[in-house]
């Protein structure tokens, strides 16, 4: 199956029909969105996946990133994170390991989930070079494309590829400087390699070759955000915008060649710049699906960054972002636990829903919850809740004598008092 070829030919395939059913839109709407580059449906010829549409007019999706580090390589824990992410309602998984056997870990993760799985092949290429030759700057250019093909053949559905870092981007970074430094691993790896070897980024210089790999294996290309801000004072700076412009042009080329494309967005953004970033990204990319990383709206809340990111994600979604990369409470502090993965997904799902209440006018569930609360229908409230087990557990721990009410109000429940005298 070639998703874009089918869409351009006016063919509504099974994947488009399934996404339309999930979203409550027509299959023709999805087909037109894929043809125009406004919607993607990540697939793979090597595995069946739970189909997921990402893009304009669809529900905002949530990605959960997992993966080992150089300090902690416990594949059982990563597989438990996959399970917890699915349990919490994640739409996709990104496997971002930087420690251990890359291909073995990815195969096990892919085997453990029916969700679309993403990756960053650049990590494998650079870290294998460091293990083999002592430093990431000794990475061979062919290593990048070999790792990309290997991961595609393993059944990876979408890949973050750092195509927008080139000499112009690096020049903007050097000329302006940064308060928070360069925080993207991919961005740091590639920038260091370019400066040491005095060569252009191979992913930019050999973009046509990259597209051949993407097309052959039907991988959705996620244009990586290597120059994203790691501090709110660096948001919307010259390096970020330069990379965006390059990625926008390459995204148009990729779509023209039949490759599905997502464009990634910046990481730390103060609230008053979020709308500008979404509008700018959508406009210069010709409304490609926008994958927002976070965003974190303040830098001073370590331990609570899932909540910080949820604020930013809700606003981003409301302004038009299509895909949210979750943040866990461990962000900036440590590799997250499975429990923190669960919390991060729930926080981002709440944010995505809040955004969709504005962007898509999806408010029926909130109306139903309002009615259930008015009617003191506790079972219906639990059924509608984003996390029913959490809501039920809190109530059960502190069950009131009068089971119609709760222990917040007890005998003086406002709803119960008014309901005796007034019918809504």
- Annotated domain spans of the chain: 59-359, 364-419
Q: What percentage of the chain has pLDDT greater than the value 90?
A: 93
* H helix or E strand, kind and range, residue 119: strand 116-119
- 54-55 and 61-66 as β-strands: parallel, antiparallel, unpaired? unpaired
pLDDT digits (tens, 9 = 90+) for 47-101: 999 999 999 999 999 999 999 999 999 999 999 999 999 999 999 999 999 999 9
pLDDT > 70: percent of the chain: 100
- Answer whether CATH 3.20.20.540 is correct for domain 59-359: yes
31 band by pLDDT with thresholds 50, 70 and 90: very high
pTM over 0.85: yes
With cut-offs at 50, 70 and 90, classify the pLDDT of residue 1: low
Segment (H or E) for 55: strand 54-55
Side-chain half-sphere exposure of 16, counting CA atoms within 13 A: 23
pLDDT band at 416 (very low <50, low <70, confident <90, very high): confident
Per-residue confidence (pLDDT) for residue 408, from 0 to 100: 87
| Letter string b/e over residues 187-197, b meaning 16 or more CB atoms within 10 A of that residue's CB | bebbbbbbeee
d(CA 31, CA 38): 10
Under 8 Å CB-to-CB from 420, ≥6 apart: which residues? none
Contact 20, 30 (CB under 8 A): yes
């Amino acid at each position: 199956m070639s998703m874009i070829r089918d869409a351009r030919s006016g063919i509504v395939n099974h994947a488009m029909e399934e996404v339309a059913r999930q979203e409550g839109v027509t299959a023709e709407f999805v087909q037109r969105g894929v043809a125009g580059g406004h919607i993607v449906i990540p697939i793979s010829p090597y595995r069946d996946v739970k189909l997921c549409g990402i893009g304009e007019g669809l529900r905002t999706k949530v990605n959960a990133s997992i993966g080992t580090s150089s300090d902690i390589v416990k594949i059982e824990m990563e597989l438990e994170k996959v399970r917890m992410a699915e349990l919490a309602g994640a739409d996709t998984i990104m496997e971002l390991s930087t420690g251990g056997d890359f291909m073995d870990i990815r195969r096990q993760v892919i085997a453990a989930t029916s969700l679309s799985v993403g990756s960053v092949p650049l990590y494998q290429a650079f870290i294998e070079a460091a293990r083999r030759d002592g430093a990431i700057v000794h990475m061979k250019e062919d290593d990048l494309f070999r790792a990309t093909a290997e991961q595609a053949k393993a059944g990876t559905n979408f890949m973050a590829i750092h195509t927008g870092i080139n000499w112009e981007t690096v020049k903007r970074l050097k000329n302006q400087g940064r308060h928070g430094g360069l925080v993207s691993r991919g961005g740091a790896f590639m920038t260091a390699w370019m400066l040491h070897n005095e060569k252009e980024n191979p992913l930019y210089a050999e973009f046509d070759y990259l597209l051949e790999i993407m097309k052959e294996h039907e991988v959705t290309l996620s244009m990586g955000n290597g120059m994203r801000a790691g501090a709110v004072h660096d948001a919307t700076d010259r390096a970020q915008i330069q990379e965006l412009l390059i990625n926008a042009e390459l995204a148009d080329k990729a779509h023209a060649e039949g490759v599905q494309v997502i464009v990634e967005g910046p990481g730390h953004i103060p609230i008053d710049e979020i709308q500008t970033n979404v509008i700018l990204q959508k406009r210069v990319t010709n409304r490609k699906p926008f994958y927002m990383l976070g965003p974190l709206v303040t830098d001073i809340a370590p331990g609570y960054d899932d909540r910080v990111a949820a604020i930013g994600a809700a606003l981003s979604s409301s302004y038009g972002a299509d895909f949210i990369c979750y943040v866990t409470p461990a962000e900036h502090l440590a590799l997250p636990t499975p429990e923190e993965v669960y919390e991060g997904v729930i926080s981002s799902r709440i944010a995505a829903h809040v955004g969709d209440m504005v962007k898509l006018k999806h408010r029926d569930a909130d109306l139903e919850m309002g009615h259930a609360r008015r009617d003191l229908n506790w079972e219906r409230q639990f059924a509608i809740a984003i996390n029913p087990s959490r809501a039920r557990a809190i109530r059960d721990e502190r069950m009131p004598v009068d089971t119609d009410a709760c222990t917040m109000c007890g005998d003086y429940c406002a709803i119960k008092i008014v309901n005796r005298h007034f019918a809504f």
